[in-house]
Structure 1
Amino acid sequence: MAVITPPQKEAPARPRPRSTGRRPRRSLVLNLASLVIGLAVWGLVSLFGIADLPGPLTVASRAFEMAVDGTLAGDLAASLRRVFIGFALGTALAVPIGFLMGWYPTARGLLEPYVQFFRMVPPLALIPLAIVLLGIGEVPKIFVIFLAAFLFSVVSTLQGVVNVDRTLINAARVLGAPDRTIFVKVIIPASAPFILVGMRTGLGASWATLVAAELIAAQAGLGYRMQQAQLYYDLPTIFVGLIAIGVLGMAMDRLLLLAEKRLTGWQERR
């Protein structure tokens, strides 16, 4: 008589250890290599006189001169203040309005036409109106930056609330959670990735609007300095302003990206 042996259970597969440091290290190496290659190409282009560009050493020398005489620090402070205030005010207003539009259909029906209308109008096109209505002080400069940040953030927040999985909301209601608890425990965490992406996009729009905003009777700022340098064909100063805007924008974007990773750590990542 044949003996039937019961099937043996397969041992569960061991999870592969995640390499925590290899990927960031590789990314850093690639970033440094890209920077070196970019500087080399820039140096070669300027060395052979293509497009009449100043070389990296010339731009670095000009940046040193501006740093020594205090011009660069004053321009950095003025531009950072305008971008930070405009971006902070725009985001602070956009997030609650986006939640309001996403949570209440009546508010969405009333406000969405205006949001979509002004989203189609470039903030730069409102500069003449801002000058007429708000004067030539700091207010119109901050206003156009505020508008750029607001429009991107409010649309992203609205989209985040609308895209929340209805199953999560229904499950919370079945468990007896009131609307306030659902909003705090379900809607806000689920919308956080959209809000942070909108903030990053709004930050880029704020820096993009800065140069035009500083057309409004500014006496300091990176955009103002670049426009003054344009009149005298001072290309090194223009490059200093471009690089400063890019570096500051990237630094602020990295901070938002770090906040996004910390606030959305529960999210599945691929």
Structure 2
Amino acid sequence: MRLINIKPGPALALFLVLLPFAAVLVAYAVGSDIRLTANPSDKLLPAPGTVGDTMMRLLTEGDRRTGRILFWYDTWASLQRLWLGIAISASVGLVFGLLIGLFPLMRSLLAQFVAVLSMIPPLALLPILFIVFGLGELSKVVLIVVGTLPFIIRDLSQRTYEIPQELLVKAQTLGASSWVIAIRVALPQVMPRLIQAVRLSLGPAWLFLIAAEAIAADLGLGYRIFLVRRYLAMDVILTYVIWITILAFAMDWLLRWASRRFYPWAEEGL
């Protein structure tokens, strides 16, 4: 039997899923043990037990000055910025994706403009955004929008453009207006792609959020990571990195669940 035709069973599939994670944990534990054996004061690779203790402390103990558990305040501040930025990008991207994909005039007017905007490195615009919008919440949200919106527009416009022409012709034959075609024909076809586009945008969105918080913020996951780096508090940094990874994975899982729940016909083709 060819290797390409071998499909793992449930038990083997679970083992293969867990194997890379176990390998990373083992490699980290070995590396940490080697460094701590050579230098017990080493801070670069704290022992897994130390990271676990730090995690529990951050999750449960309040700040000495304010009494607040800063870990949860940081999480809520970052998630608010991320959700707002992604929601704006998804909403605006859906509208312009439909317009560019359905209407030739809009495609001629905006397609190349959006393509050029998508080539601009968003982080290069960060100083400009701080100057224009200030150092508050707005500039951080705008950075997420600027970084994710062009990709979502291009992805959705391409999906809209690929809708079979016979569907559009049949709708016009039945007397449907352009508005009805956009809402009743194109929108249901595009919605599953919107969820996939948002899933793919989560990684860059987190990157832009962390970068903005690292430069100008007094609360947030990125702010806390760059605050403690000056003390080489790797146990705290690793805790926050692990937590960000868990949050990103949970958001991706929820979007995948929504796609399967509301658009099962689209998932069958993946």
Do the structures match in fold with TM over 0.5? yes
CA distance in 1, matches of 2:58, 2:35: 25
Residue-pair matches, total: 249
In structure 2, the partner of 1:44 is 30
Return 5+ residue gaps in structure 1 as ranges: 1-21
Deviation at 1:128, TM superposition (A): 0.4
Task: Tell me the secondary structure at the aligned position of residue 214 of structure 1.
Answer: helix
1:206-238, Cα deviation, whole Å (9 max, x unpaired) = 112111111342111111111112212111111
**Which stretch of structure 1 is more off in the superposition, 109-118 or 130-139?**
109-118
Contact 2:215 2:223 in 1 (8 A): no
In structure 2, the partner of 1:209 is 208
Alignment pair present for 1:54 and 2:43: no
CA distance in 2, matches of 1:23, 1:107: 49
Deviation at 1:25, TM superposition (A): 6.8
The letter of the residue matching 1:67 is: L
In structure 2, the partner of 1:184 is 183
Q: Which has the higher helix share?
A: 2
Deviation at 1:32, TM superposition (A): 3.7
Task: Tell me the secondary structure at the aligned position of residue 218 of structure 1.
Answer: coil
CA distance in 2, matches of 1:202, 1:188: 20
1:139-195, Cα deviation, whole Å (9 max, x unpaired) = 111110122231221111111101111122223334454444433332122223322
Normalising by structure 2, what TM-score?
A: 0.83
Normalising by structure 1, what TM-score?
A: 0.83
The letter of the residue matching 1:41 is: A
CA distance in 1, matches of 2:96, 2:150: 11
CA distance in 2, matches of 1:255, 1:30: 23
Deviation at 1:33, TM superposition (A): 4.2
In structure 1, the partner of 2:155 is 156
Deviation at 1:64, TM superposition (A): 1.4
Question: Against the structure 1 CA distance between its residues 261 and 35, is the aligned structure 2 distance closer, same or farther, given a 3 Å change threshold?
Answer: same
Deviation at 1:29, TM superposition (A): 4.8
In structure 2, the partner of 1:110 is 109
1:39-62, Cα deviation, whole Å (9 max, x unpaired) = 222212211229942232222211
Deviation at 1:86, TM superposition (A): 1.0
In structure 1, the partner of 2:123 is 124
Question: Against the structure 1 CA distance between its residues 25 and 260, is the aligned structure 2 distance closer, same or farther, given a 3 Å change threshold?
Answer: farther
The letter of the residue matching 2:216 is: A
CA distance in 2, matches of 1:29, 1:186: 43
Contact 2:152 2:198 in 1 (8 A): yes
In structure 1, the partner of 2:224 is 225
In structure 1, the partner of 2:269 is 269
The letter of the residue matching 1:240 is: T
Task: Tell me the secondary structure at the aligned position of residue 30 of structure 2.
Answer: helix
In structure 1, the partner of 2:194 is 195
Question: Against the structure 1 CA distance between its residues 155 and 27, is the aligned structure 2 distance closer, same or farther, given a 3 Å change threshold?
Answer: farther
Contact 1:63 1:72 in 2 (8 A): no
Alignment pair present for 1:82 and 2:81: yes
Identity %: 32
CA distance in 1, matches of 2:13, 2:71: 31
Question: Against the structure 1 CA distance between its residues 198 and 53, is the aligned structure 2 distance closer, same or farther, given a 3 Å change threshold?
Answer: same
CA distance in 1, matches of 2:149, 2:200: 10
**Which stretch of structure 1 is more off in the superposition, 189-198 or 125-134?**
189-198
The letter of the residue matching 1:63 is: M
Contact 1:131 1:216 in 2 (8 A): no
Contact 1:74 1:220 in 2 (8 A): yes
Task: Tell me the secondary structure at the aligned position of residue 265 of structure 2.
Answer: coil
Deviation at 1:198, TM superposition (A): 1.1
The letter of the residue matching 2:138 is: V
CA distance in 1, matches of 2:173, 2:13: 45
Larger radius of gyration: 1
In structure 1, the partner of 2:3 is none
